[in-house]
A and B are shown apart, each in its own frame.
Chain A
C-alpha cells in the first residue's frame, strides 16, 4: 500500500491525527489551517510542507520535537525532514522537554520531565496511593480541608478608586465633564493589590518520603484555594505537576501527580534540581517576584556549597524564599546538616513541615510574605 495512491488530504489529516496521538494538542481548526497552509505552499514542495506543518500544528518546542518524530515515522522514506542545526538539539537537552509517550518507547511520563544531568543512580518508583487504607485517606482529607491557605499579595499595576491617595485626574475630569465643565468633587485613587504567585518545590526523594505525600496535599490545597501556584517536584528529576494538581478532588489530583512523578522516593540531586528549575522556568519569569517555598530536608551529600549557590540565585529572582524542613520541628534541632547550613544565609524563613500545625504556621508565613 503506497501512500502515493491515497488522496493527499487523507495522508495529511492522518498525519495530524497521528500527531495528536503522540500528545500534541491538535484541534480541528489547526487541521484546517494545516491543509490551507500545505495547499498554499504546494503539495510538491515537501520541505515547505514540512515547515507548514510545524508552524500550524505545533505550539511549543516540545511539540516541534514530537512533530519531527511523527513526521519521520509517517512520511517515512518518502520525504525526510531537513536536518536541523545542532543548536536545536542543544536546546532540547538543556530545556529538557522530554518527548512524552512516543511510540518508540519513551520512558517519561506526560508531565514536563526534566532529566537531571548527574550520573548518580536514580530509582524510579511511582507512589502507591492504593497502599493507604480508606480510613487513613479520609482522615487526611478532613485535616487538609480544615487548612485555609491564603494568597500572598503584591501591589498591582492598576489603580483603584479610593477615598485617600493620589489625585485621579481622569476620573475628576470625567465627572467635571458630566457637569458640563463645572468643577466638583476631587476623585482620588490608589494602587490595588493582586495575588502574588506561589512556587512550591517539593523534594520527593527517599529521605523525604514520609512527608512528601502531605506536602503534595498542601500544594493541592493551595491550588484548590485559587492561589496562583506552580508546583514542581525534585528528586533525581524535576517534574512539573501543576496541571495534575489542578483537580478539585484531592485524591484524584494526588493519584495524577503520583503517576507523573517518575522518581518517587528515589535519590536526590537537590542542587541540580534547583538549578534546572531556575534555568528552565524560574529565571524566565516563574520565580520572578514570586514566593518560593522549598520543601526539603536539604540533604545534599556531595556538594552543599553548590546547593547554597543555587539557592542564592533563586533568592536573587524571587520575592521571598521560604524553606520548609521537616526536621526543624524536632526538639533540639540545630541546622548543622551541610546542605541546610549552606542555604540558610539566602533563605528568608525557615519553618517546620512535619505536622498539620506546622503547615498552619507555613500558611501564615506565606500569606504574610
Chain B
C-alpha cells in the first residue's frame, strides 16, 4: 500500500484518524495529508501533551503500518539510529568456523561471511527504510545534537543509507516520517526546510470533550464536561509553570471515575489535583483557581 495514495483527500484522512480515536482538526488533517501526498516528513511542534506523538501512533493504526519509534536524546548517534554489527555473534561465528574441521580457511571468505545480513542489528531508521512501508516516529528531535540532525537530514532527503560492508539500502516505499520537537533547541533550518511544519495547540472545549468521550468512554458525560471545563480554566491561568495537556485531562477524568466521583466538587478536585499539575507551585495556584471555579 503506497502511503501517498491511501487517502483521496484531507477529510478522508481526518475521518480515518477519528476512527482510531485521534480527533484531528482541519488544519492538522490537511497538513498530514499533504505530508503523505508530497512524501515529506512532518515536523510537529507544540506544548507538551497536545498529541504530537499520538498522531504518529494513530497514523500507523489507520494505515495498518508498523510504527517504528526513535526516541532522541543527547549524544544519540548513528549506531543507535541506523545499524550496528552484532560483535559477540560474529566472534562466536569465527570460533565455530575454527572448531569445524576443514571449514573455509580463506580469510577473505571468512570475512565476507562475518559481515552478513544476519549479523546486522537494524536500528529504527534502517528498519523503517528496509521493512517499509512504515511510520517512522522521530520523537523529541530537539534533544539530539546538531551532528545527528545532519545525519537525519541526509536520510530524509535521499531515503537511503550506505553500509560500507554491505552496500546501499534504499527504501522501496519511503516511510511516513513524523518528527516531534518541544523547541528546547532551535532545529537547523536545512532540516526544517525538508519538512512540513505544524504547530499543535491545546484543543478547544468541544474537541477535548469529544476526545475524552472517545478515549475514556467509561467516564460519564457530565463528569467529562466538568473535568474539561476545569482543565480549560486551569490552562487560562498564564502564571502556571506547566499547563496540563490532553493526557492530563484524560488521566484526571479516569482517576475521578475510579474514585466513583459523580460531581466534581472542591474537595475531590483539591485531593486529585496532583494528576493534572506536577509542580508544587502550580498545585497551590490551581487549588485557588478551582476554588473560585467550583465554589459557585
Contact = CB atoms under 8 A, between A and B. Distances in A.
Interface of A: 25, 27, 29-30, 33, 36-37, 40-41, 47-48, 51-52, 54-56, 58-61, 63-64, 82, 84-85, 87-88, 90-91, 94, 156-158, 169-170, 173-174, 176-177, 180-181, 279, 283-286, 288
Contact of A59 (B31, B74, B189, B235): B189
6 contacts: A52-B34, A59-B43, A91-B201, A177-B90, A286-B184, A288-B184
B30 A48 contact: yes
Given A29-B193, A40-B38, A85 B201 contact: yes
Given A56-B196, A286-B184, A180 B30 contact: no
Interface string B11-44: 0000000000000001100110111011010010
Given A176-B91, A181-B95, 18 more contacts: A33-B38, A33-B196, A37-B196, A40-B37, A41-B10, A47-B30, A55-B196, A61-B199, A82-B26, A85-B201, A88-B201, A91-B201, A157-B73, A170-B87, A173-B90, A177-B87, A177-B91, A181-B98
A30 B195 CA distance: 10
B45 interface: yes
A344 to B, nearest CB: 21
Interface string B139-154: 0001100000000000
B88 interface: yes
A56 B237 CA distance: 32
A257 to B, nearest CB: 18
A149 B87 CA distance: 43
A54 B197 contact: yes
A64 B193 CA distance: 14
B77 interface: yes
Contacts of A59: 43, 189, 192-193, 197
B204 to A, nearest CB: 5
Given A51-B31, A54-B197, A158-B77, A87 B94 contact: no
Contacts of A157: 73-75
Contacts of A88: 201
Contacts of B90: 173, 177
Contacts of B47: 91
A64 B199 contact: yes
Interface size class of B (residues with CB under 8 A): 35 or more
Contacts of A156: 75
A106 B30 CA distance: 31
A55 B74 contact: no
A40 B189 contact: no
B36 to A, nearest CB: 10
B54 to A, nearest CB: 18
**Which of B30, B74, B87, B196 has the largest count of A CB atoms less than 10 A from its CB?**
B30
Contacts of B40: 33
Contacts of A170: 87
Given A58-B197, A180-B94, A181-B91, A285 B184 contact: yes
Chain B residues touching A, majority SS: helix
A177 B94 contact: yes
B94 A173 contact: no
A211 B107 CA distance: 70
B198 A55 contact: yes
Nearest to A36: B38
Interface of B: 10, 26-27, 30-31, 33-35, 37-38, 40, 43, 45, 47, 73-75, 77, 87-88, 90-91, 94-95, 98, 107, 110, 114, 142-143, 182-186, 189, 192-193, 196-199, 201-202, 204, 235, 238, 241
A33 B87 CA distance: 44
Contacts of B37: 40
A180 B238 contact: no
Given A40-B37, A157-B74, A181-B94, A174 B87 contact: yes
The 5 closest A-B pairs by CB, nearest first: A157-B75, A285-B184, A59-B192, A181-B94, A55-B196
A33 B43 CA distance: 15
Given A58-B197, A181-B98, A41 B30 contact: yes
A63 to B, nearest CB: 8
A56 B31 CA distance: 9
Contacts of B199: 61, 64
A40 B34 contact: yes
A30 B40 CA distance: 12
B193 A180 contact: no
Nearest to A176: B91
A61 B184 contact: no
Contacts of B107: 180
Contacts of B26: 47-48, 51, 82
A84 B40 CA distance: 25
Contacts of A82: 26-27
A108 B47 CA distance: 25
A285 B75 contact: no
Contact of A25 (B95, B98, B110, B189): B189
Contact of B30 (A52, A90, A173): A52
Contacts of B33: 41
**Which of B10, B35, B114, B182 has the largest count of A CB atoms less than 10 A from its CB?**
B10
Given A157-B74, A177-B114, A284-B184, A51 B30 contact: yes
Contacts of A85: 201, 204
B75 A180 contact: no
Nearest to B98: A181
Contacts of A174: 87
